[in-house]
Amino acid sequence: MKVRDALRFVYDKQKKMFILGGIISLLDWDQKTYMPRKASTDRALQISLLSKSLHQLMVSDDLWKNIEFLTREKNVEKLSEEDRIVVERLRRDVEKARKIPTDFIERMSKAEATSYSAWEVAKKRSRFDIFCPHLERIVELKREYCGYINLEGHIYNNLLDDYEEGMRYERLKPAFEYLGDKLSRLLNKLESEKKIDLKLSKKAQERLSFTILKYLGLKRDRFRMDLSEHPFTTRLSTFDVRITTRYVKDKPLSSLFSTMHEAGHAIYELNLPKGRFRYTVISDAPSLGLHESQSRFWENIIGRNYSFWKFFYPILKRIEPALKTSVEEIYRYVNSVERSLIRTEADEVSYNLHIILRFEIETELLNGEIEVKDLPEIWNEKMEKFLGVKPKSDREGILQDMHWSTGDFGYFPSYTIGNVYSAQQFYAMRDFIDDLDAKIEHGDFKEILQWLSENIHRFGRIYTSEELMRRCCGEGLNPRIFIRYIESKYLDI
């Protein structure tokens, strides 16, 4: 075997995987935007056929043989810096994927499908007992999965690592405890102010959304926005990134924030590394948390910033000339804080408390400290502890999220990691960009976009997100920075 041939082989396979991944994303995008309802059975067949092909490519002996050959000491030396990065990263991914037996993947996906259906029924009827045996099965399978991966430390690390490569329970636990304590206290000091006299037609909301996209530099020749029930972002290929938004009745600015959130993801996706890295595993984000930091940055740090509203208020006024609310009132409205029961509707302060609650439950569940059957009670207790409110039903309590029904354990922390990272990035770029506030006030986001691209986006998966944060912000996850950000903002409002 020659190094050159082996290199070509692994690049070809990665390209094929990249292309297949993009097609699966299109199938998924279409399903959530335009697909006729009756097509869902066939769509599932289409997605599963390609997902299987993708997985087979990933775990094939051929690919593994070539990677092993390229990572032999005497061959590594012959690789260029870029190729070495690609091959090493690919090796880790493939090694991990090959740890999981094929029959497990099938058992898992079957369990997820039935569990999801059971959760739907259970939520509808607000009856945890319908979902309970399914969740028990899922937890059992997740434990089996952890056995295959078998990382050091807490069992939860094996799940966390799928979303936050390199992040560990042992590091998150104290950070989340600190955040939980600080945010609970802060919440006690803040009063809710959720009313506003602002009504916007769908058309006006649409215009607001498309206007902000223009300021963020998203061009229509490589990007588009459509509607879906749950907003999302997806990359179909190098120059094809799509977001969705939705218009919610009685929440006139919801679509604007949703658009800014997804635009943050989209900007990241469009700036991922190209060239030699284009069709490789490097052309991706290192972690969901870092990805989320980009969406939160635009949605919260910018979108809920006073300078931003000084810039955006005249635009809103142009689109809705009847507007009576002042810029200060709008600023207070978009930053109103509430002890709410539902995570997806939570504000900047309380959102992380919802996550920390889930993190505790997930880790204790995996660890065997608590049992699935006791979850409704545990949930309610923790809600009282963190948020000071108690759900009246399982529907607005333990059953509110679908994530566990589809086996997504280890996923929730990414949201809070993203929130913390976004504040850290904001302070870092503040030191770097002159007159940042004035620029935001003028809707001039050029330097912000540039800072993000140069310090974060263009590295793809070359570094882990913690390494990347150390490079651009001087340190990894630091919840103190987030608390500084949130206190300086909310104690001031």
**Among the residues of 232-390, which ranges form H helices?**
254-271, 288-296, 306-319, 327-334, 351-367, 375-387
Binders of its own copies among 225-254, rule CB under 8 A?
226, 236-240
Run of H or E including 225: strand 223-227
Looking at 35-43, 70-78, 84-92, 409-417, which segment touches its own copies (CB under 8 A)?
35-43
223 binds its own copies (CB under 8 A): yes
Tokens found for residue 283: 């052309």
Q: Cα(411)–Cα(162) distance, rounded to whole angstroms?
A: 8
Of 23, 54, 25, 24, the C-alpha closest to 265 is 25
* Interface with its own copies (CB under 8 A), residue from 3, 20, 370, 433: 20
| Binding flag, residue 214, its own copies (CB under 8 A) | no
Question: Nearer Cβ to its own copies, position 276 or 343?
Answer: 276
From candidates 8, 189, 199, 220, binder to its own copies by CB under 8 A: 220
3-state secondary structure of 247: coil
> Among residues 91 and 278, whose Cβ is nearest to its own copies?
278
Q: Which of 35, 105, 198, 204 binds its own copies (CB under 8 A)?
A: 35
Q: How far is the CB of 138 from its own copies (least distance, A)?
A: 28
CA distance 448 to 445: 5
According to DSSP, the β-strands at 223-227 and 240-245 are parallel
Smallest gap from residue 47 Cβ to its own copies (A): 9
Contact in structure between 110 and 90 (CB atoms under 8 Å): no
Comparing CB distances to its own copies, the nearer of 164 and 240 is 240
How far apart CA 365 and CA 361 sit, in angstroms, is 6
Give Rg (Cα) of the chain.
Answer: 23
Q: Does 377 qualify as catalytic in the annotation?
A: no
Minimal distance in Å, beta carbon 224 to its own copies?
6
Which of 112, 164, 165, 262 is an active site residue?
262
Is residue 42 a contact point for its own copies (CB under 8 A)?
yes
By C-beta, is 51 or 126 nearer to its own copies? 51
- Buried/exposed 455-478: b ≥16 CB within 10 Å, e otherwise: bbbebbbbbbbbebbeebbeebbb
Q: How far is the CB of 285 from its own copies (least distance, A)?
A: 19
Q: Give the count of residues interacting with its own copies (CB under 8 A).
A: 34
Instruction: Based on the shown chain and the rule CB under 8 A, indicate whether residue 196 belongs to the binding site for its own copies.
Output: no
CB 417 within 8 A of CB 292: yes
Coil vs helix vs strand at 220: coil
Q: CA-to-CA distance for 372 and 118, rounded, in angstroms?
A: 15
Tell me the C-alpha distance between 158 and 169, whole Å. Answer: 10
State which of residues 27, 146, 266, 346 lies at the interface with its own copies (CB under 8 A): 27
Closest contact distance (angstroms) between CB of 160 and its own copies is 32
Residues found near its own copies in the complex (CB under 8 A)? 15-16, 19-20, 22-23, 26-27, 30, 34-39, 41-43, 45-46, 49-50, 53, 220-224, 226, 236-240
- Would you name the residues annotated as active-site residues? 262
